[in-house]
Each structure stands twice: as structure tokens, then as C-alpha cells.
Structure 1
Amino acid sequence: MSTEELLAALDDDQRAVAEHLSGPLCVLAGAGTGKTRAITYRIANGVRSGAYNPQTVLAVTFTARAAGEMRSRLRDLGVGGVQARTFHAAALRQLSYFWPTAIGGSVPRIAEHKASLVAEASGRLGLGVDRVAIRDLAAEVEWAKVSLVTAEDYAAQAARTGREGAAGHDHATIARLLSVYEDVKNERGVIDFEDVLLLLVGILLEREDVAAEVRSQYRHFVVDEYQDVSPLQQRLLDLWLGKRREICVVGDVSQTIYSFTGATPRFLTDFPRQYEGAPVVRLVRDYRSTPQVVDLANKVLARAGRYRSSAAVELVAQRPGSVPVRFETYDDDLAEARGVADRIAALSKDGVPLSEVAILYRTNGQAEALEQALAAAGIGYLVRGGERFFSRREVREAIVLLRGAVRSSVGQAMPEAVRDVLASVGWAPEPPSARGAVRERWESLSSLVALADDLHATRGSDLGGLVAELDERMAAQHAPTVAGVTLASLHAAKGLEWDAVFLVGVSEGLLPISLAEGDDAIAEERRLLYVGITRAREHLQLSFGRARTPGGRASRKRSRFLDGIWPDEGSGTRGGLSRRAAARARTEVFAEENPADAELFDRLRGWRGEVATIISKPAYTVLHDTTLQAIATAKPKDLRQLAVLRGIGATKLDAYGPQVLAVVRGEEVDVQEWLAR
């Protein structure tokens, strides 16, 4: 693409971000507004225009997955060499490089977990704590370090910020624990993850020559999820920058949900004051969610009153209208789990892939009943935070075989080569009838097949390119999509999105959690609900059980965050619509809101009906209504433009792409003849 073609792919606000290449910039980006798109196009524009040398750009994210996604997008835009890393990964890389000359020797070993260190420190103090207490104390140690609070200052700082200590221990005891914890680390010759940043900060402060070398290497900075920056991370960022002002920050105060770890939105809200004259761009156009979902999200935030920040963004939906949000009240948690499983089964029959469905909850203890209900319904699922994708045995075996096949598959198309290789470890085109481990193994291998198809269609990758992509994803723990319902806590769901989302347990005591005390804590619980709502693209259901167990006391009440929003019992919206009625509603809403595209949408549906009849399959398996609506709105002119639309994978593109384009052009399509080709 030319620079103008690159920028033409953005809306006006995103383009304002991409065209601002020099000096400080603050981007307030609401959920689903394309912030990653805006900042990657900004970097690409800077490199293409010659304003940036890609090797001098450092993009900082908060998860390895997000960093991997950013690198992937930049590659797709033809921009290589840009460093996209987490704060810790970038700091560790610099620390390892400068340690031999600044300190001498090699960097101490990093302790993967604090538990054993905290347990020993607790034992020395005679605290006699259990596993749960160790976890809470480790979290308090982490908060103190990322907040730049020393053992000497802890009691005063904890009192000032309203922290109540941890595991039932007072501030003085926690302060002693912090001191002994450092002693234990030093005796073992290890450092923790926070030390990586602290030690680098110390080197940059003491060694001006090291600081100068870092600043000569990195001249332009982009920081994503800036509302989650801790004082320690901000201190490091300031040292990276020196006196320069070449920084772009992107964040959303309404998604601040990690205050308990030391994150603070203060740096985001204070940015225009710290960098006087810095422009502030608001991204408000929500391309992710339907108007029904966006309206609910805005209403939840609007009821925050004085606890809603002036920097908060009110979303404006860009997608066509669709089905209403569902609100369900169940007798108990088991009934809720069964009801959710039944609803997921219905969505699956309507063509919503299981990989595009998520169940989100406030605490991990809520997952057990949901897992049982899904298993009983024969619905595959994966628990986010469970075994990592790249740690699975079948995935490790497959990658080894794919590496070995790189040379032997010369001349063979990559998707076919991948299928041949994976067939040797048990993959087949059709899923097995068995459930459990057998089905999970097949789903893992199928996700590799889908990734191969996608890379071949979008990048023209060969087998070597696929292996390289897998190596990078493995390092970043950026797993391909696995065909199963995702179960995740609301915190773990941040940064993700699905076609259908079920928010369970939206009741007092769970949301807000009973442990949340004080106005600030309650405000953060409200933001947590907002994050959960904005994960949904189209289908959203909120529910709770009146009792914890069948026959138990039905004393639960819906969350206070939904007062004035939850429909009255018997209002007609509680139970939602039947599948066919919902489909008709989506069609009618689309026609009303998009009159210029309605005729093309009808023709596309007619074409799809003919295809479905000829191949004897349900219409939704050809292309879903939402995909046809996207086509009718975008009116793609070629296969490249068609391929970028959601729901058009490599297989669909190959099978139906030319026919779809012909329908868009207004041509008569002989479906029988096309399929005979």
C-alpha cells in the first residue's frame, strides 16, 4: 500500500493518531475502537515516511500476547525491525546486555515464583502462614515494589493509601516481612521480576554512559494500556526518555481494573499536564460491539456518578443493530450453569463457533459448576489460565514434525503439507466422536491447521514461515484459536473479545465482590463489569442465581451496578427470542439502519440459500448473516478486500469468494455451474 492507501484505511480519529509522528501524544481509546490499529498504523506511517528508523522504535505492552500481536500486525503492514515488548521483557533484555560492564558477571537467576521466598521470610518471623496467606503476602510484596515503597516507608504509605495489610497482619509486620524477604533473596542469589525493573532503573540512574546508549538506541516510544502503568514502570519510562518528548501513550481509564497490583490511571490522566501542549485524541467509534451491547456498557459507566473520570470515553456503536442483550435470573448456580450451557448449544446450532463463545465470572471458584454443565452437554471448553497451549504434548510433537518437514515439503502447497504432517499424529478432517482428551487433542491440532490456512491466505507463507510464526507465538504464549468455549475470570478476559459472552453471577457479593470496601474499590468493580460487557461483539447475556445450591436460601440480589437497567420480571425481554425470531429481528434491524445495503444483503442471502440447497447443508454453514451484512456494507471489489472481513477464512474465500464478488457486482450467478467448477 502507498502511504495514502495506508491512512485511508483509518477513520478520522485513528488517522489523527497515525499522522501525529513527532512530539507527545495522548490517545484515550474506548473498548473496541481500534487502538492497536491506530498505533500500528502510526508506526508504519512513521517508518514509511522516513520519520522513524524501525530499529529505534520501542512499543511497550503489558502482555507477551499483545506484544506478539503487535509485531504480527506490523509485519502485515510491511514494517519489520520494530521492537514490541512488555516492560519486563524490554528491561530484561537491556539488563542482560549492560550487566557485565555495569555490575560484572551475569544477571542473577530470576525466581519464577515468590511463594517459597515469602514462605521462608514468614517462617523466620514466626508468622505460621498457610498457602492462601502466602499468596496474599506475595501480592503485597509485589505491590510495595512496583509502587516504589520500601520496608522503611511501607507502614506510612500503606496507611495513606488505605491498604489493610495482608493475611490478617498489620502494617508493621508486613514492613518487617519486606525486609526479611530481601534478605532471603540475597542469600539465595536470586532476584524477582520486579527487581528486573528496579535494577535497570538503578543502573540508568548511576551510569550516564549506559543511559545515553539506551537513549541513542530508542528514540520513539509507544505505550499501550497506559492506565495500567505502575510507579516503577513510569520511573523506567522516564529514564528511557530522558528529556525527550517522543512518546505516544494509549489507554482507557474505564478499563482500570488492576489497582490492587499497583497500577494507576494517574499517569494517563496527568499526561496533558506533564507534557504541556500534547494533543489528546479520543477514539470513540466502537467497531467491536453491536449498539445493544454498547448502550449497556455506556449505561453502566454513566451510573458511576462522581466516580466516572472526565477522561472516560463514551462509545459510539458503528456496527449494525442486532439481538437484544439477555438478562436471566435462575433459581441457583447449578440452574444458571445448565441454562448457560443450553443457550450456548442453541447459538452453536445457529452457526456461532464455540471458539467465539466465552463465559466470564468474578472468581475462579465459579468455574466448577460451569465446567460440569458444559461437559454434560457435550460442549468442549478450555479454562483460560489452565495448561498453556504450547505446553500440550500433541502441540510440541506437531511443531517438531513441522520443523523436520520444512525441507522435505519443497514444491508442496503449505496447507496440504501441514495436513499431511499432522495426519501422522492423529489429525483428521472431521472431529472424533469421542469427547474429553481425544477431542481436546484434535482441537489443538486443528487450530494449527487453521493457522496455516490463515497465514497462507493472508501472507503467502510457506512451511518455513509457519514454523517461524509458531516459534514467535510460543515465545509470546500467543496461542492459535482452539475450538472450545472459553471460561475465564473477568480480569483474565481483558484485552480479548468473542462473538458471544455470558456474564454469570452478576449479583451482590460477587459483583461487586464482598471484599470490596470503600468507594474506590466499588468503582473498580463497576469498571470490571464494564470490561466484561465490552468483550462481546453481538450476543451478550447477564445472569445470576438467587441461591448458591438447589433448595438453598434464595437471598441473592442482582448487582447494584444494574439498578435501573435490568428489565422487570415478565417484561418480555428477560427470556430473549427464539433463534428464528432473533434472526428475523437482526435482518429487520439491519434493513432499517442500512437501507442502502439492504437490497444487496437480500441478494447475498438468496445466493447463500441456493448454495445451501445444492450442497445439502444449513445456510449458516455457508456464511453467517453477520458476514453477509459485513459484505453488503463493505462492498468488496476484490478477493483481498473480501478476505479482511470477519467470517471469511481461507477455505470460505477459496470456495465462495468469486461468487460473492459477482453478486456484489450485481451479476447473475449460476450457482450450480460455479460449484461444478
Structure 2
Amino acid sequence: MFTWTDRELNAEQSEAVVAPGNILLTACPGSGKTRTLTYKIAYELSRLESDRQFVVAITYTNRAADEIRERIQDLGVDTARLWIGTIHAFCLEWIIKPYGIYAPDLANGYSIVDLHARERLLEALCEPYRHERITFYDCEYYYTSEGYRLGCPSPGKHASIRRILESYFGILRERRQIDFELILWHALQLTEQFPAISGLLSKLFVCVLVDEYQDTKQIQYVILGAVLRAGQGATRLFMVGDPNQAIYGSLGGYPIELGDLRVLTELPIETRTLSLNYRSSARIIDFFNHFNVHDTVIVAAGEDRLYPSLVSYDRECQKTGLVHEIGTLIRHNIDTLGVRPEQICVLAPQWLHLASMTRQLVATLPDYQFDGPGMVPFARDIENFWYKVARLALTEPSPALFIRRHRWAGEIISALQDAGVPTQHLSRRMLLRDCNAIALEEQGGLAYLRGFFEQLFDRLGIVISNVASLREHYNAFFASSAARIEKLEAEGLTEVGDLAFFKRIFQNRSGITVSTIHGVKGAEFDVVIAYALLDGMVPHFNDPHGEVSARKLLYVVGSRARKNLHLFSEHGRSRGWRGHYEPTRALSDCVFDYDVI
């Protein structure tokens, strides 16, 4: 039986881990949610009684799944009977792959459309609607159990977007392709039409755990609910999250109410809380608690709880002077306060605002590196085969990375099998040995990857051009990467195509992080600097839940900071004929004793 000491978990965390029933756990920021979830999974794994029993954990991102799996392995717990991943990966692995033959659109084979190919297809379909200013970004959609919903916040565009999407769905059917949202839709259809699927899964799953439940979509709740109902109590539920951080409403995410969850699962569900914040100072908590929509209890309990935090809010800065002001704050925190660069994050509501800012900060602060998801020279498309191989190509063999690289090697072998490539002769260690033996002189990122892929598959005796799916993924990977590099170079990141830049993608964060508010959720930093906190951006001008959404976004911004927090609602951002943006009302109305720096 897996055990721990009271130095590893506090009383709230321990009680949640050992609770025998179904739990809905509300965790305030910095309360050790991931640690609690990790220990809960380890505890449940140690109690399994049969080799045919599994613990299933649903995470919001693949990165979160990797982190939790590695933490469990570090605890010395066998993860052979753990399945952990995103809801899309769950639906593929447990529903579509074994039962897709019963779905008409999947019965004759299917492939997952590459993200770059999807973007190019939608861009082409949007072309006739340029006069309506409809772009690829307007075509985001999500499914509910009733059909698809549009993510575009501009109602006037909806009729045209629906015509575009109908064409898009038709082309995917012709090509026998599905995208991530269609994965969920087909999984739902299969579970509804064949209830035995849920029954079989419920016999395998002892416990289903859901991380970040506030970002879960209705269709995802319904799919998991079918499995839990079929288990009639034999499959237990453990859900953890923070409803105050439900900022993905435009994509369909929401925190389900307890009563609705009980009806959906037909389970008796107990609520618990994690209220001790080990991340932020009491002053930081006092600030972001002003935006606490759900009245969550938050108590400062960490080593930095008494830190004399700087919390500043600048409403007078002009847009033209913003880069200078942010640069000054970065230097002050590093040079005067001793903060490490990798513990600083610069935030804005949208990537549109960050592209120019990043370029100017790089020029203003040439001594520092800047890291961010938008600066990655290739898409983090976990379903693209060559992205999987690139992870091995761009990481060095080391004891610290062995477990992770060993797992990646297994994913590559599994993907080769799915593509119809014989792999009987291939093991994970053999694949890693072949990868480690490749030495190239190329200093350009894309050239290096092309050479690495060629040498590796020569060693494996696999001809890429003979395998249609690998060839398609190969072309999409390099086309997408070349387009990203061209765009980033145009924005001033001239080194983005270098091999050294490529290798930074899978290294630990080493520079100042640049991100959107949505992109940084789940992370934490000593210092957070956020700008463009303007009404119409926070929240978006078409957000139907305006005030509440703004408070949730500000709650997320504030709760990322451990020590210092700097906020800007700058002047001079034009709204066209409507004048200029004004400060976010929820922030400008907040009464707080700000510091003057």
C-alpha cells in the first residue's frame, strides 16, 4: 500500500486522497492540486487487485499528463495500469480505436487531420468570405451532445462560418479524416448507440480522475458520465479544479454544478476543498481575492506568505511608452530584487499584442532570453508522427530524461504499428540507441531534423515515401514549421530557425516567459507583468458574461504571481471609429493600496 508522511501532504490533501467515495475537490490556487492528484493516483494504483483493473486520469494537456506520470514514477509506484492523457487521447484509445468500425464515417479507416493541414484547408474555405473579414481564427468550434457550437464571438459572422464549416466537414468525410472535436463527437455517438461500450469500460476502470474540471466541455462530461453510470458505483470519480479559473467558456468549458454532476453520473458525490495557498504572499492573495467569483476560501500558508510584495497598477502609461516601462520593471526585479529571469512572466490577453511586444523587448533587453509557446518554430501537434520523433531528435540522452525519452520511443513504435509498419524487430531501447548514435553538423533547425529523420529511418530500414500517412505527416510538419519560422522571423526573432533555438523547446524554461493569460494558466512565477488590461480585451467585447469573465481572467493573472505583480491598462490603443480602449472596469473599480514604483 502506498503511504506518505504529514510532511508530504497536509490534512486537507490527505483526507482527499484516502476518501473512499466520489469526490468533487475545489482547490484554490497554489494549494498543491497537482500533488494531491498525483498522490491520489498513486494511492489508487497501489490498491488495485487485478491485472485487468485500470486507473484513468484525464488531464487538460499532454504536458500535464507527462508531469503527473513522472511524479508518480518518482514516488516508486508502478504505472503499468495507469492510463493518463487528454480527453481526446482517451476517446481515441478506449472508444474509437477498438469500436470505430461500428461508426459509418470511421468503418473504412480514418486519420487525424494534421493541425497545419486543417489550418490551410480552413484558410482556403474562408477566402471567398474575405469581404466579411472571416479568417481561420473565426472558425473555431466545439461539440455538445446536441451538435456543434461556434466559438466566434461575433454573431454577424455566424451564418457564413456555418457554411464554411459544412464544406469543411464534407471535405474531411471525403478524405476520411477527423479533427479533435470530431474525435469527441464520434466517441459520443458510439457510446450512445452501443451502451455495451460504457459497460465494458466501467468493468476495467476502478477510478476515473479528472483534472481542471472547470475547463471540461459538456460533451466530455456526457461521455465520462456514461461510463460512470454503467459502473453503478463500481467505478469511482475524483474531480479536481477551481471554478474561479474557468476561462475557456468561449470554447465550451465550464465547471459543472454538483447537482448536475450527481444526476449525470448517478453517483453520490461528496465535496471537499483545498484552501491553503502555498504559492503567493498574503498581499498577492489579498489582491486577487477581489476577483473571487465563487467565494473560495484562500489562506496564505507558504514560505513567502509574509513577503513584502510589490503590487502596482499603471493607468497613466501611454502605449508608446509601454515597452520602456515593462523593460524597467524587468530590470528592477532582476537587478534590484534578485529575481531570476526564468521566474518572470509577461502577459497579454491575445497573441496579437505579444508579437510586437516580444520583438521590442528582445531589442530593449538584449542580455535576456524570452520564451513562450508562440515562439515555438513548430506546432506542438502530438498527433503528428514527426513531432513525436522531433522530441527525441532535440533532446540529449541523460539519466534525468531517460524515463521520458523511453516513453516517447514507445509512442513512436506504437504510431509505426498504427501506420502498418512492421515493428517486431524494434524495441524502445534499440530506437533510443539508434537516435543517440546520430551525429550531424547542421546548425539550422529544419535542416538538422531532415537529416536526423533520414538517418534514423535508414537505420530502421523504413522507407518514408512508401507509407502514405508518414509521408503526409512529414510534409505537413515541415510546411507548418517553415511557415511558423517565416512569421516569427518577420516579427524580429531572427534566431528562431537555429538548431539551438529548436533545442530550447524541450528544455526547462530558461528565459522570461511571454504568454497569453489563457496560455499561462497552471503556471507560476515570482513576478507577473500584465498589460492590455482593457475593456473589450478583458473581457472580449462580445463576451456575453462580461463582468464575470473579466474577474476570472484577473483572478488567473493575479494568482500566477508568488511575490510581485505589475498591471497596466495603457492609454492609446485604438478601437477604430469607437475611439480608444478604456481600462477593464472590474480592475479600475478594485480598491487596493497599490505600490508606486
Q: Distance in 1 between matches of 2:137 and 2:181?
A: 17
Q: How many Å apart are 1:510 and its aligned residue?
A: 3.1
Match of 1:40 among 38, 41, 45: 38
Partner of 1:244: 232
Larger Rg: 1
Match of 2:245 among 246, 255, 262: 255
Partner of 1:195: 182
Q: Distance in 2 between matches of 1:401 and 1:39?
A: 29
Aligned partners of 2:535 and 2:584 also within 8 Å = yes
Please tell me whether residue 226 in structure 1 is matched to residue 246 in structure 2.
Answer: no
Q: Distance in 2 between matches of 1:510 and 1:333?
A: 15
- Secondary structure class of the residue paired with 2:564: strand
Deviations, residues 206-246 of structure 1 (Å, cap 9, x unaligned): 33554443233223100111111112111211223224331
Which letter does structure 2 place at the counterpart of 1:295? D
- Secondary structure class of the residue paired with 1:375: helix
Deviations, residues 587-640 of structure 1 (Å, cap 9, x unaligned): xxxxxxxxxxxxxxxxxxxxxxxxxxxxxxxxxxxxxxxxxxxxxxxxxxxxxx
Partner of 1:322: 307
Which letter does structure 2 place at the counterpart of 1:44? A
Structure 2, unpaired ranges of 5+? 381-386, 403-437, 444-492
Q: Distance in 2 between matches of 1:282 and 1:192?
A: 36
- Secondary structure class of the residue paired with 2:519: helix
1:6-25 superposed matches below 5 A = 6=5, 9-20=8-19, 22-25=20-23
Distance 1:57 1:343, change over 3 A: same
Partner of 2:135: 134
Q: Distance in 1 between matches of 2:255 and 2:40?
A: 23
Deviations, residues 260-279 of structure 1 (Å, cap 9, x unaligned): 11112235573356556421
- Secondary structure class of the residue paired with 1:10: coil
Q: How many Å apart are 1:293 and its aligned residue?
A: 1.0
Which letter does structure 2 place at the counterpart of 1:376? T
Please tell me whether residue 547 in structure 1 is matched to residue 572 in structure 2.
Answer: yes
Partner of 1:169: 157
- Secondary structure class of the residue paired with 1:299: helix
- Which shifted more, 244-253 or 362-371? 362-371
Deviations, residues 48-101 of structure 1 (Å, cap 9, x unaligned): 345786951000011111111111111112222211110001111222233357
- Secondary structure class of the residue paired with 1:340: helix
Which letter does structure 1 place at the counterpart of 2:522? G
Aligned partners of 2:57 and 2:83 also within 8 Å = yes
Deviations, residues 557-586 of structure 1 (Å, cap 9, x unaligned): 433222454558xx8x222xxxxxxxxxxx
Aligned partners of 2:550 and 2:586 also within 8 Å = no
Q: How many Å apart are 1:362 and its aligned residue?
A: 0.9
Q: How many Å apart are 1:388 and its aligned residue?
A: 5.4
Q: Distance in 1 between matches of 2:327 and 2:389?
A: 29
Partner of 1:98: 99
Distance 1:495 1:170, change over 3 A: closer
Please tell me whether residue 380 in structure 1 is matched to residue 369 in structure 2.
Answer: yes
Aligned partners of 1:359 and 1:488 also within 8 Å = yes
Which letter does structure 1 place at the counterpart of 2:359? E
Distance 1:247 1:402, change over 3 A: closer
Aligned partners of 2:284 and 2:559 also within 8 Å = yes
Q: Distance in 1 between matches of 2:71 and 2:50?
A: 17
Partner of 1:664: none
Which letter does structure 1 place at the counterpart of 2:318? D
Match of 2:395 among 396, 399, 405: 399
- Which shifted more, 242-251 or 393-402? 393-402
Match of 2:583 among 552, 555, 558: 558
Deviations, residues 25-59 of structure 1 (Å, cap 9, x unaligned): 11011111111111211122223345786951000
Which letter does structure 2 place at the counterpart of 1:535? R
Q: Distance in 1 between matches of 2:582 and 2:376?
A: 35
Aligned length: 489
Q: How many Å apart are 1:204 and its aligned residue?
A: 2.8
Deviations, residues 482-510 of structure 1 (Å, cap 9, x unaligned): 31111111011111111111111223343
1:615-654 superposed matches below 5 A = none
Distance 1:251 1:129, change over 3 A: same
Partner of 2:420: none
Aligned partners of 2:111 and 2:176 also within 8 Å = yes
Greater helix fraction, Structure 1 or Structure 2:
1
Partner of 1:512: 539
Q: Distance in 1 between matches of 2:388 and 2:203?
A: 42
Partner of 2:513: 486
- Secondary structure class of the residue paired with 2:570: strand
Deviations, residues 269-291 of structure 1 (Å, cap 9, x unaligned): 73356556421101111111111
Which letter does structure 2 place at the counterpart of 1:287? Y
Distance 1:561 1:440, change over 3 A: farther
What fraction of aligned residue pairs are identical, expressed as a percent?
A: 22
Q: How many Å apart are 1:299 and its aligned residue?
A: 1.4
Q: Distance in 1 between matches of 2:396 and 2:8?
A: 39
Distance 1:343 1:29, change over 3 A: same
Structure 1, unpaired ranges of 5+? 302-307, 407-420, 427-434, 448-476, 576-677
Aligned partners of 1:327 and 1:566 also within 8 Å = no
Q: Distance in 1 between matches of 2:175 and 2:184?
A: 19
Which letter does structure 2 place at the counterpart of 1:316? V
- Secondary structure class of the residue paired with 1:25: strand
- Secondary structure class of the residue paired with 2:514: strand
Distance 1:534 1:187, change over 3 A: same
Q: How many Å apart are 1:328 and its aligned residue?
A: 4.1
Please tell me whether residue 574 in structure 1 is matched to residue 592 in structure 2.
Answer: no
Partner of 2:328: 342
Which letter does structure 2 place at the counterpart of 1:23? G
Distance 1:343 1:441, change over 3 A: farther
Q: Distance in 2 between matches of 1:128 and 1:548?
A: 27
Partner of 1:186: 173
Which letter does structure 1 place at the counterpart of 2:135? I
Aligned partners of 1:503 and 1:541 also within 8 Å = yes
TM-score of the aligned structures, taking structure 2 as reference length? 0.72
Query: Could you say which structure has the greater relative contact order, defined with CA pairs below 8 angstroms and 6 or more residues apart?
Result: 2
Q: Distance in 1 between matches of 2:97 and 2:152?
A: 37
Q: How many Å apart are 1:554 and its aligned residue?
A: 11
- Secondary structure class of the residue paired with 1:496: coil
Aligned partners of 2:102 and 2:190 also within 8 Å = no
Q: Distance in 1 between matches of 2:282 and 2:87?
A: 35
